[in-house]
Amino acid sequence: MCVLIALSALPATARDLTVVELYTSQGCSSCPPADKFLGELAKRDDVLALSFHVDYWDYIGWKDTFASPANTERQRAYARRFGIGYVYTPQMVVHGTAQMTGSNRPAVLNGIAQAQTMPAIQIKLRRDAGGVSASLPAKKGAEQASVYAVLFDREHSTSIRRGENGGRQITYSNVVRKLERLTSWNGEAMTVALPVGEQANDACAVIVQSDMSGMILGAATLDLRN
């Protein structure tokens, strides 16, 4: 485990999605098993598996080609929420409420099973000539939440020339290229546009996440390749 002490007109699938976030780095030799596992989870139709590449290992010999400070800050925010006082790779966060080592299959699968018992709001994503929009329902008594847009690529195969994984070619699934907070949601019905534009990403997603507990209240995804 790599550890850093610190303290950041097409409908979407109707099935509730459990969100699994993998915090990974091309420069961490402990990450490839978790990257492979995330690829397996990405094939499930009841899971939104996302690969967030972090930048804090770039100094040890290889600069991660997908890393961003925004991904690192999101992971640090989770560290503060979970009270663990550090960030590490590989880490998986399941539905915003549980964290574990990304290669710990039993713990991850148990987290997914528990998350699937939670109620979810139904988000509808729609694509038309004007772009992509997300419709959120009205829900009485809903807690204050943030609405995030995620743009991601389905798969990348990367040759790593230096660092702990030097000489390896690793396949990454559902690689997050952009994460943006769009607005707040407090239970009122609303429609919001996604910042898709002319970007050549494979897919997009909307995640509604509680500001208080961090729990994912709902998620939806849409393929942009068609």
At 95-118, the pLDDT tens digits run 999 999 999 999 999 999 999 999
Q: 15 pLDDT band (50/70/90 cuts)?
A: low
- What is the Rg, in whole angstroms, of the alpha carbon atoms belonging to the chain? 17
- Average pLDDT in the 159-174 region? 94
Nearest to 215 by CA among 81, 85, 122: 81
Distance (Å, rounded) from C-alpha 89 to C-alpha 78? 13
pLDDT value at residue 11: 42
Predicted TM-score (pTM) of this structure: 0.91
Distance (Å, rounded) from C-alpha 189 to C-alpha 179? 23
Distance (Å, rounded) from C-alpha 164 to C-alpha 26? 8
Find out whether 135 and 126 touch, Cβ atoms under 8 Å. Answer: yes
Find out whether 203 and 152 touch, Cβ atoms under 8 Å. Answer: yes
- Average pLDDT in the 120-124 region? 94
Q: Which residues contact 166 (CB under 8 A, 6 or more apart)?
A: 61, 62, 160
Both tokens of 178, joined, read 């952009």
pLDDT value at residue 129: 77
Share of the chain above pLDDT 70, in %: 92
- Say whether pLDDT at 195 is over 90: no
Taking only the tens place, the pLDDT of each residue in 39-85 is 999 999 999 999 999 999 999 989 999 999 999 999 999 999 999 99
Q: 193 pLDDT band (50/70/90 cuts)?
A: very high
